[in-house]
A = this chain, B = another copy of it.
């Protein structure tokens, strides 16, 4: 609620207020504008020209940096996955103090990200176009999933030796499905229609869900 358009900050060469011919840092400004617009109307709720206008440049300018609208959304999603992976990594913290506690920490981090960056999360999971054509995006999403995968491995390692060892990949997919289901259904952007009032916070819901699931695997909690 302060700036009508993004201040150009390359280092600090062109002054703010758009007094120079060149913007100075248009790619960043476009990504930032896209995030605002996605937050307001979803990943499909804005046009390329609108992003240009929000960044204070002509409709043709974005084409110098992104082939089309999808490429811009893909960049938003890629950055989202990078940040997401980094935050999950921090939450996982090498599995300390113990795998279960670290997994719960990941759950908090998962929902915290979905809550704090709903626009990024929407771009990441509701982009509306396949990732194949955008290099780096699949890689980034893989990095995020890898944290859950590692957490699942650790959880499986820590099980009481009695039963059959469950496949870690399956466990990771289950953990992810619960987290994404809760984030998608109960957190964030007004876009989600079936949202309903919860008897508890989404965080508590996820923590309880993961704990029950892990106990079902044979975890000694």
Contact = CB atoms under 8 A, between A and B. Distances in A.
A190 interface: yes
Contacts of A179: 181
Contacts of A205: 170, 173-174, 177
Given A180-B181, A213-B216, A216-B214, A128 B42 contact: yes
Contacts of A177: 177-178, 181-182, 185-186, 205, 209
Q: Is the interface of A mostly helix, strand, loop or mixed?
A: helix
B42 A193 contact: no
Interface in A137-189: 137, 141, 145, 166-167, 169-170, 173-174, 176-182, 184-186
A3 interface: no
Residues of A in contact with B, size category: 35 or more
Contacts of A180: 181, 184-185
Contacts of A212: 166, 174, 213, 216-217
Interface stretch (A17-25, A27-35, A92-100, A194-202): A194-202
Interface centre among A124, A129, A145, A177 (most CB of B within 10 A): A177
What 5 A-B pairs have minimum CB-CB distances, sorted nearest first? A216-B216, A181-B181, A177-B181, A44-B44, A212-B216
Interface of A: 41-42, 44-45, 77, 124-131, 137, 141, 145, 166-167, 169-170, 173-174, 176-182, 184-186, 190-194, 196, 198-200, 205, 208-209, 211-217
